[in-house]
Chains A and B, each alone.
Chain A
Amino acid sequence: NAGVMQNPRHLVRRRGQEARLRCSPMKGHSHVYWYRQLPEEGLKFMVYLQKENIIDESGMPKERFSAEFPKEGPSILRIQQVVRGDSAAYFCASQGGPNEQFFGPGTRLTVL
């Protein structure tokens, strides 16, 4: 019973490049959440998606950030023209019903 999968686990980008983070939810789960975590800080909500729909993107910066969860394939968090301040751990969580979320191992983004 595979858990939530994220790739890549580590991603290094230079300023101005694009970062693309992928998340495959647990089998049967149709809700995906993206969070960002800075060192020694808590999880900050970014966006909540269901298949083909963005339900809440209130935690995501209006510029450079976008997310999708297509009918087929993983959810993708895209960061365009990355800056040093985007360096963080990005976690995806999936949810099958109204209750607990299950997290992936995260993608650690480093912007040089």
Chain B
Amino acid sequence: EDQVTQSPEALRLQEGESSSLNCSYTVSGLRGLFWYRQDPGKGPEFLFTLYSAGEEKEKERLKATLTKKESFLHITAPKPEDSATYLCAVQATGGYQKVTFGTGTKLQVIP
């Protein structure tokens, strides 16, 4: 069974203090790994898809990287508006397109 574990569960940063969120996964074969951002009371917002080890994607202050066992979401010089829960999910090869989500990292950026 596919598994996704995210750490830490919660992270508190000062504005401008860079850090990384971790997503460890177990899947028979990886079709894609996804990162989402979820604000309170809203649906998850798609950020990135990574397909193979070594791949990197960037968007503003966020950079996602992928290895064969984990993915990192690096946040550079975060701002208070980056505060949200960040969700990681994996999609396995074979079968249909079922996606398995982790429980998320709740990020708080303090001014």
A interface list, Cβ under 8 A from B: 4, 6, 31, 33, 35, 41-43, 45, 48, 55-56, 91, 95, 98-106, 108
Contact = CB atoms under 8 A, between A and B. Distances in A.
Interface of B: 31-32, 34, 36, 41-46, 49, 87, 91, 96-104
Which applies to chain B's interface (DSSP): helix, strand, loop or mixed?
strand
A42 B102 contact: yes
A105 B43 contact: yes
Given A91-B44, A102-B46, 7 more contacts: A42-B103, A45-B101, A48-B98, A91-B43, A98-B97, A103-B36, A103-B43
Contacts of B99: 33, 45, 101
Contacts of B97: 31, 48, 95, 98-99
B94 to A, nearest CB: 11
Report which residue of B41, B45, B97, B104 has the largest number of chain A beta carbons within 10 angstroms of its beta carbon.
B97
A31 B97 CA distance: 9
Given A42-B102, A99-B49, A106 B96 contact: no
B41 to A, nearest CB: 8
A35 B45 CA distance: 14
Contacts of B34: 100-101
